[in-house]
Chain A
Amino acid sequence: MTTAPWHTDPTGFSDAAAPAQTLFDASAVSRPWRLSFGGLLVAEWRKLATMTSTWVLLGLGVVLGLFTTGAGASTLTAMNQTFSGPAAPMTPPIGRVSMALVGGPIYPGLMMALLGVLAITNEYSSGMIRATLAAAPSRWPALAAKAVIVTGFSFVSTVVAEFIGALIAWGTLGNGVRFDLFTPDGLQVWFGSSLDVTLLALMGLSVGVLVRGTAGAVVTQLLGLMLALPVLILMIAGLAASSGQDVSNGMLTLVMHCPTVAAVFVYLGPIVGRDTLASVSELPSATSAVLTMLAWTAVLLAGAFAVFRRRDV
């Protein structure tokens, strides 16, 4: 296109010439275009895909996730060599590839939480939110579509990355180690940890809506909710204990219900042994850990939807 009507034909619109008649129509009823949730989903996917930070965070999450999986695998190798030495009294007790995933979801969880935060705070900081809401003035569908896309992206990418991580660990560990991702135990580790990452991403999105500013939301989500909360509770417990009060059990229960702590117990059972976990009464079962994670997500997401509906942008 070599002609720029802006410059060559500044008054082109006043003529009843070509573009005016096809581009603009006095009767809107003749236009078949309608807002649809499917359309919003495609738009939200394209927004996520055209953000540089999405791919940087995904890359960092995968690399760090594979690194921790590799570290898990080499630990297993070392332990297996210890146990399978000439004097070993029994067969290697650690022989399942899902065990290598024990630390795998930690970094992806951080990265996808950050991705959830940025998915909305980027819109606030750039002003894109105003264009988004002009297309969807009823507002809730726009946020719902964004939540669906963040959920899908973080879940699928974690499931795929952990599968690749498990394959690499399997190759590294060599003979004697079982590829167990498709057993009930393996599925709990694989999909349980992927669910964790997904819920952390949704919490990040919710905190992003509530706080709006990128810096504030990152501090609230990553430092506050995910890192500092359990430490803070333990510090208070320590102070209370030092003043002679017996609060340790209640405080420990609180710590177990922090998002990042509960996340671990969603998939830790099959790795360290369900009976081992169950023998410590303060540690939550996988079911209660999942419920804790879902409750955090539901509360934050409900708050986000409530605020998003009415707030001025």
Chain B
Amino acid sequence: MIELYGVTKTFGSTVAVNDLSIVVQPGRVTGFLGPNGAGKSTTMRLIMGLNHPTSGTILVNHRRLGESPAPLCEIGAVLDARAMQPNRTARQHMQILAVTHGIPAARVDELLAVTGLAEVAHMRIGSYSLGMSQRLAIATALLGDPQVLIFDEPINGLDPEGVAWVRALLRQQAGAGKTVLVSSHLMSEMEHTADQLLIVGRGRLLADIGMADFIAGASGVACRLTSPDAPAIVAAFAGPGVQAVPLHPDTIELRGVDVKQVAERAARSGWIIYQLAPVEVSLEDAYLQLTAGAVDYVSGGTTVSAGYAANGPAWRPSAPAQTYQAPPAWQQPDTYAPPPPPPDGSNPTGGPR
């Protein structure tokens, strides 16, 4: 089990993790989702004790990792597949770590065999492909048969069989009662693997939700339209259960409203609509919407919280985010921005030590 209580990590004036409190439960695969730069990797390094939190408490299996008599048996991590000396062989690398805990050499060979590296175990790690390095990193993480496994983007560089293998491994480990935390920036990776989702954006927790609930909440009607009257249309449909997402200056996506409603209302109101199409809300969309900072229109269509979508990753291939320029009236102070510096100019949180 992993517990984070009020964990904040700043690098200079950048807030990488902002008051994050989460509990990752054993016996299931927890997906750790968020766009690039959301603080996933930093959080994982904090859990491993590689970075120290600016404030807050992190517990692994109910104690600080440094207090464990056998850290390799508490937690295993795949954070960076290239974090090993390239001149050593895979067997040397694993045995160096195994010997710190008195783990027998036979287990090293077993794990190398299970990860398909037995035949290349005597070769220099420097000659490995990214996929082979990734397998070695996974084998190394499993060395102490740890109760907690954390994987940062584990399927990077793996072939399709490797991806299937990693997914099976995650499920098998969770099934054996272990705590499994897997990060990704793609919802599609989590769809068939994770039982629980932790969604973060700009270092904050956006959602802690079961996969089944997330799927149930994601379904619904939506349409996309291009119109010079877009603000008026948004204002007309504003209400509970309705969300508007600007894709382009004149193009918006309306959630909770179907094509028929828009067409009928347009005929009565005399709106000009260049394009109107139904949209299937997928899990990917629901996730992107969350991390986009959920653009909500409050009554009157004047108050908008423009979030991550304005400068974040592409909303979807047909409407690259970089082409989107939010009209000035829609812009709002960024809810995830770090607090402004105090008037006296001091740095209240301090730099990394």
Contact = CB atoms under 8 A, between A and B. Distances in A.
B168 A24 contact: no
A176 interface: no
Interface string B137-181: 000101011110000000000000110110011011100111000
B149 to A, nearest CB: 10
A34 B114 contact: no
Contact of B113 (A1, A134, A139): A1
A310 B176 contact: no
A126 B83 contact: yes
Interface string A115-142: 0000000110011101111111111000
A7 B116 contact: yes
A46 B72 contact: no
Contact of B176 (A26, A50, A136): A26
Contacts of A19: 110, 113-114
Contacts of B88: 50
B126 to A, nearest CB: 9
A135 B92 contact: no
A36 B71 CA distance: 11
Contacts of B168: 10-14
A131 B77 CA distance: 9
Contacts of B353: 310-312
B51 interface: yes
A6 interface: yes
A13 B169 contact: yes
B179 to A, nearest CB: 11
A43 B97 contact: yes
B57 to A, nearest CB: 15
A272 interface: no
A133 B66 CA distance: 10
B95 interface: yes
Given A1-B119, A19-B110, A31-B70, A137 B87 contact: no
Interface in B88-144: 88, 92-93, 95-97, 99-103, 107, 110-111, 113-116, 118-119, 135, 140, 142, 144
B102 A23 contact: no
A22 B113 CA distance: 13
Q: What's the interface size class on A, roughly?
A: 35 or more
B85 A50 contact: yes
A35 interface: yes
A39 B102 contact: yes
Interface string A295-313: 0000000000000001111
A133 B83 CA distance: 12
A247 interface: no
Contacts of A1: 113, 118-119
Contact of B50 (A24, A34, A130): A130
A173 to B, nearest CB: 42
A14 B295 CA distance: 41
Given A6-B135, A35-B69, A136-B100, A312 B172 contact: no
B72 A134 contact: yes
Interface string A127-159: 110111111111100000000000000000000
A42 interface: yes
Q: By CB atoms of chain A within 10 A, which of B99, B162, B164, B178 has the most? A: B99
Q: By CB atoms of chain B within 10 A, which of A7, A25, A28, A123 has the most? A: A28
B206 interface: no
A6 B171 contact: no
A1 B119 CA distance: 7
A6 B162 contact: yes
A20 to B, nearest CB: 6
B235 interface: no
Contacts of A310: 52, 353
A313 B52 CA distance: 9
A133 B74 CA distance: 13
A87 interface: no
Contacts of A10: 161-162, 164-165, 168
A276 interface: no
Contacts of B75: 134
A4 interface: yes
Contacts of B146: 28
Given A6-B115, A13-B165, A50-B87, A131 B140 contact: yes
A274 interface: no
Contacts of B86: 126
B83 A128 contact: yes
A24 to B, nearest CB: 6
A14 B67 CA distance: 33
Contact of B92 (A32, A46, A313): A46
B65 A6 contact: no
A33 B86 CA distance: 27
B96 A6 contact: no
B97 A312 contact: no
6 contacts: A6-B135, A13-B172, A43-B99, A46-B92, A136-B100, A312-B353
State the 7 A-B residue pairs at the shortest beta-carbon distance, nearest first: A6-B116, A127-B83, A4-B116, A13-B172, A1-B118, A138-B66, A137-B49
Interface of B: 45, 48-52, 65-77, 79-80, 82-88, 92-93, 95-97, 99-103, 107, 110-111, 113-116, 118-119, 135, 140, 142, 144-147, 161-162, 164-165, 168-169, 171-173, 176-178, 352-353
Given A10-B164, A13-B168, A28-B147, 9 more contacts: A1-B113, A10-B168, A19-B110, A33-B144, A36-B101, A39-B102, A50-B87, A133-B49, A135-B101
